[in-house]
Amino acid sequence: MDDGIVVETKNLGRRFGRHYAVHDLTWQVRRGAIYGLLGLNGAGKTTTFRLLMGLLRPTNGEARMLGLDPQRQGVELKRRVGYVGESPCFYEWMTVYELFAFVAHYRKENWDAAFAKSLAERFALEGSKKLSTLSKGMRAKVSLCIAIAFRPELLILDEPTGGLDPVARREFFEGVLAEYQTPDRTILISSHLINEVSGIVDQIGILHEGNLLMDCSTEEFLSKVKVMRLRFAGDPPPHFTAEGILRYRVDGREGRAVTLNYCEGETENKIKSAGAESVEVMDLNLEDAFVEFISERKSP
Amino acid sequence: MKLFYANTIWKRQMRSLMETALVLAFGSLLLGIIATIFDKVADIGLSVDYYFPDKCKSFLGVALMIQVLISGILLGSEEEENKTHSFIFRLPISRTRWILERLLAIILSLMIYFTLLIFITHLIGHLNHIWHLNEAINTSLSQIFTLRNVLSAFTNFCICACVASIVKKVLPAAISALIVIFIIIIVLILISQPLPDMKHGHNYYPEIFFSAFQMTLYFTITPLLAIGLFTLSISKREGE
């Protein structure tokens, strides 16, 4: 996998009972990307990450990260990949610095003690404090420190900022991740706080009920999903259809339409030819675009 | 090669081992006392000729085996209860090495446990000798603090611990507690069949008497429960 692909899955699936948490996932992530895996709760993001880390066995299909098979080459893989899970569990009796020393023991080739210490200071973590006394947010910070301090080639962050206060979240995204990121390092991130990651992710994938519905650059996604204000000669009609329009509703004296496949000029023309007098296209931020995209597919 | 329980873990692990050994030693001691009380009750003719812990004195081998398994489970309890295995498995350490090092820790715990047990036994015996305790107490103490007695009492402790741990994993606490109590009662009833030729406290060896059921219970069910739980504890993977 030297062609710049760091994550590759082929028909990867994981079933719990009768329910597929991840279903036939065929997916690639390029080296250097900051990839945001988005989805509603239960979409399969965490399961995907666990399959990639070799923490779960796939029901079908295969996965490779950095050219390694997570099931057979798990130790080598974990040597090169940093992973922050949803709810970090540690030895509660250790202090923060004792935990660092413990992790450093297993990552001694790459562990950067000075960087770890600077991260702890940045996050205002007291090294002598026992982990059992730390709040959820502080534990999340510890988890981030030990995942980043050995400067892994690939960093997987599963809801990394859960429990962090807004200041710490901003510090993490704008300070820590920015410092960590270099062209040869890749970050996979899932977060329900989409607006926070929108500024940093350059690729996104949208998972829904275990299926990958979208895999493109953030720019491309934002250019496709648009909301349009439609004005009509009289009152807006209660129902309106035109090619490319996914949803329509009356919003005061205007109509509001959503398209998931916007094409500049062409979409406006189609709407106008269907009866609208004018069309005003509004840009959406990533969170709004995601909500518009996913709400069509949500189960009732 | 440095061990998994190396560095900072090691100090804590040793402390944990000592704590485990102490808890086990005193747990056994308590059961030994109960055994002795049952002995006394039986001796004064209250027809209580079943005394659950005392009857297990013959099963030294089983007690030893279960001791090994339970020590492992107790040692692993931190990993299980705090889900720290999910943290460990994110580090570059192979499962084989992890299991081997845990087994090593079990052996260490076993050694410490027996050392403590023998030490306490001798200490009490010595104090007893120094203080010239009266005959009754002397008899009781000598009964309580024989290694076999304590170990056999511990066997029962192990059965309860095994069942409780297994049930705890799958059922809510209240139901678990009821089931455990129920199982303990059943086991007590089943084991309490009178042993016609056995004189309390004098014969401890297997050739005296084994009912087929007792043999089945101790040599099959108990180790199976313990091995099952141990396998569960070491094979557990995050999310599975």
- The confidence score (pLDDT) of residue A65 equals 94
Please tell me the distance from the alpha carbon of residue A167 to that of residue A129, in angstroms, as a whole number. 21
Q: Which residues of A touch B7 (CB under 8 A)?
A: 101-102, 105
- Reading the block at residue A147, the tokens are 């995942």
Confidence bin at A25 (pLDDT 50/70/90): very high
pLDDT, tens digit, for every residue of A160-179?
A: 877 777 887 877 787 778 77
- Reading the block at residue A74, the tokens are 């798990």
Is the pLDDT at B76 greater than 90? The verdict is no
pLDDT, tens digit, for every residue of A118-169?
A: 989 988 899 899 888 988 888 888 988 999 999 999 999 998 877 777 887 8
**Chain B: closest CA distance from residue A286 (Å):** 31
Please tell me the distance from the alpha carbon of residue B119 to that of residue B111, in angstroms, as a whole number. 12
CB contact under 8 A, B90 and A91: no
Tell me the pLDDT of chain B averaged across its residues: 50
Q: Is A60 helix (H, G, I), strand (E, B) or coil?
A: strand
- The confidence score (pLDDT) of residue A203 equals 94
Is the pLDDT at B107 greater than 90? The verdict is no
Mean pLDDT value of segment A91-100:
84
Q: Does B7 touch chain A (CB under 8 A)?
A: yes
Is the pLDDT at A112 greater than 70? The verdict is yes
- The confidence score (pLDDT) of residue B138 equals 44
Range picked from A43-47, B10-14, B34-38 for highest mean pLDDT: A43-47
Whether A177 and A152 have beta carbons less than 8 Å apart is answered as no
Facing residue for A55 by CB, picked from B6, B8, B238? B238
CB contact under 8 A, B92 and A56: no
Range picked from A48-52, A266-270, B122-126 for highest mean pLDDT: A48-52
Confidence bin at B3 (pLDDT 50/70/90): very low
- The confidence score (pLDDT) of residue B46 equals 31
Mean pLDDT value of segment A72-94:
86
Q: Which chain A residue is nearest to residue B85, measuring alpha carbons?
A: A89
Q: Which chain A residue is nearest to residue B15, measuring alpha carbons?
A: A93
Per the document, the length of chain A is 300
- The confidence score (pLDDT) of residue A263 equals 86
Edge-first strand order for the sheet with A5-16 is: A19-30, A5-16, A60-65
Confidence bin at B239 (pLDDT 50/70/90): very low
- Reading the block at residue A259, the tokens are 């398209």
Confidence bin at B238 (pLDDT 50/70/90): very low
Write B40-45 long-range contacts (CB < 8 A, 24+): B40/B140, B42/B200, B43/B200
- The confidence score (pLDDT) of residue B172 equals 46
Facing residue for B239 by CB, picked from A50, A83, A88? A50
Q: Is A161 helix (H, G, I), strand (E, B) or coil?
A: coil
Residues 6 or more apart whose Cβ sits within 8 Å of residue B132: none
Is the pLDDT at A113 greater than 50? The verdict is yes
Query: What is the C-alpha end-to-end distance of chain B, expressed in Å?
Result: 30
Confidence bin at A200 (pLDDT 50/70/90): confident
Facing residue for A89 by CB, picked from B2, B82, B239? B82
- The confidence score (pLDDT) of residue B29 equals 52
- The confidence score (pLDDT) of residue A236 equals 85
Range picked from B61-75, B89-103, B107-121 for highest mean pLDDT: B89-103
Please tell me the distance from the alpha carbon of residue B235 to that of residue A53, in angstroms, as a whole number. 17
Please tell me the distance from the alpha carbon of residue B101 to that of residue B2, in angstroms, as a whole number. 10
- The confidence score (pLDDT) of residue B110 equals 56
Q: Does B12 touch chain A (CB under 8 A)?
A: yes
CB contact under 8 A, B92 and A105: no
More confident of the two residues A284 and B97: A284
CA A274 to chain centre: 38
Q: Residue A172 corresponds to which amino acid? A: F
Is the pLDDT at B198 greater than 70? The verdict is no
- Reading the block at residue A249, the tokens are 């509703």
- The confidence score (pLDDT) of residue B51 equals 35
- The confidence score (pLDDT) of residue A28 equals 94
The answer to which of A7-11, A56-60, B231-235 has the lowest mean pLDDT is B231-235
Testing the interface with A: which of B1, B7, B8 to mutate, by most A Cβ within 10 A? Answer: B8
- The confidence score (pLDDT) of residue B134 equals 42
Range picked from A96-110, A218-232, B82-96, B224-238 for highest mean pLDDT: A218-232
More confident of the two residues B47 and A162: A162
Mean pLDDT value of segment B71-96:
64
Please tell me the distance from the alpha carbon of residue A70 to that of residue A8, in angstroms, as a whole number. 11
**Chain B: closest CA distance from residue A126 (Å):** 18
User: Closest Cα partner for A124 from A143, A139, A138, A136?
Assistant: A138
Facing residue for A101 by CB, picked from B7, B92, B93? B7
Strand pairing class (A34-39; A203-208): parallel
CB contact under 8 A, A75 and B92: yes
**Chain A: closest CA distance from residue B96 (Å):** 11
Whether B237 and B89 have beta carbons less than 8 Å apart is answered as yes
Tell me the pLDDT of chain A averaged across its residues: 87
- The confidence score (pLDDT) of residue A116 equals 92
- The confidence score (pLDDT) of residue A61 equals 95
- The confidence score (pLDDT) of residue A22 equals 94
Q: How many CB pairs under 8 A join A and B?
A: 61
Mean pLDDT value of segment A292-297:
79
- Beta bridge partner(s), residue A7: A29, A65
CA A149 to chain centre: 21
Q: Which residues of A touch B86 (CB under 8 A)?
A: 55, 85, 89
CB contact under 8 A, B90 and A57: no
Is the pLDDT at B45 greater than 80? The verdict is no
CB contact under 8 A, B90 and A53: yes
Confidence bin at A107 (pLDDT 50/70/90): confident
Please tell me the distance from the alpha carbon of residue B138 to that of residue A121, in angstroms, as a whole number. 62
Burial A226-265 (b: 16+ CB within 10 A, else e): bbbbbeeeeebeeebebebbeebeeeeebbbbbbbebeee
pTM assigned to the model? 0.68
Mean pLDDT value of segment B178-199:
50
Is the pLDDT at A264 greater than 90? The verdict is no
Please tell me the distance from the alpha carbon of residue B172 to that of residue B155, in angstroms, as a whole number. 26
Q: Which chain A residue is nearest to residue B91, measuring alpha carbons?
A: A78
Task: Classify residue A195 by its DSSP letter.
Answer: H
Q: Is A100 helix (H, G, I), strand (E, B) or coil?
A: helix
Strand pairing class (A245-251; A254-259): antiparallel
More confident of the two residues B34 and A292: A292
More confident of the two residues B197 and A253: A253
More confident of the two residues B135 and A148: A148
Whether B127 and B2 have beta carbons less than 8 Å apart is answered as no
Alpha helix stretches (DSSP H) within A67-186: 74-80, 96-106, 113-122, 136-148, 166-170, 177-180
Q: Which residues of A touch B239 (CB under 8 A)?
A: 47, 50, 55-56
**Chain B: closest CA distance from residue A192 (Å):** 21
Q: Which chain B residue is nearest to residue A57, measuring alpha carbons?
A: B240
User: Closest Cα partner for A256 from A293, A287, A281, A220?
Assistant: A281
Q: Would you tell me how many other CB atoms lie within 10 Å of the CB of residue A36?
A: 25
HEC profile for chain B? CCCCCCHHHHHHHHHHHHHHHHHHHHHHHHHHHHHHHHHHHHHCCCCCCCCHHHHHHHCHHHHHHHHHHHHHHHHHHHHHHCCHHHHHCCCCCCHHHHHHHHHHHHHHHHHHHHHHHHHHHHHHHHHHHHHCCCHHHHHHHHHHCCHHHHHHHHHHHHHHHHHHHHHHHHCCHHHHHHHHHHHHHHHHHHHCCCCCCCCCCCCCCCCCCCCHHHHHHHHHHHHHHHHHHHHHHHHCCCCC
Q: Does B98 touch chain A (CB under 8 A)?
A: no
